[in-house]
Amino acid sequence: MKAIKLSAALLVMFLFSQCGKDTATPIADVDCSTVTYSGVIKSLVASKCAVSGCHGSGSHDGDFTTYAKIAPYANNGSIRQEVLVTMRMPQSGSLTSEQLGQFQCWLDSGAPNN
């Protein structure tokens, strides 16, 4: 019985110790006038998203290798949700604060092909 109480107490202490920890990367304020698809987003997507096993050519989870192929995901909100809200993507590693800001600028401006 003591072992059960001790285990329960340790579990509760662990759970409470995790409360309030903010491990999400903050989104930086960036100069949105410098963020374009061709100049920033395309290379960011190519290195972090459009890779083999993720969103590379022919991927069943969405092929992000060209603007025409990524645009529907940008326009339907799924990229915003996965990259900026839940921050579950990219699976290859988290984006920097500046990269998150760049994605936010691009999406906020309507994800143009510029």
Domain assignment present for residue 5? The answer is: no
Could you tell me the residue range of the domain that residue 59 belongs to?
28-108
Q: Does 1 map to a domain?
A: no
Q: Please tell me the predicted confidence (pLDDT) of residue 83.
A: 92
Structure-block tokens of residue 108: 């906020």
Q: What is the 3-state secondary structure (H, E, C) of the chain?
A: CHHHHHHHHHHHHHHHHHCCCCCCCCCCCCCHHHCCHHHHHHHHHHHHCCCCCCCCCCCCCCCCCCHHHHHHHHHCCHHHHHHHHCCCCCCCCCCCHHHHHHHHHHHHCCCCCC
- For the chain, the average pLDDT equals 84
| Domain membership flag for residue 15 | no
pLDDT at site 12: 46
pLDDT at site 7: 54
- Do the domain assignments include residue 9? no
Domain count, the chain: 1
* Global confidence as pTM: 0.76
Residue 86 included in any domain: yes
Q: Is residue 95 part of a domain?
A: yes
Q: What is the pLDDT of residues 7-48, one digit of tens each?
A: 555 444 554 444 444 457 899 999 999 999 999 999 999 999
Name residue 71's amino acid. A
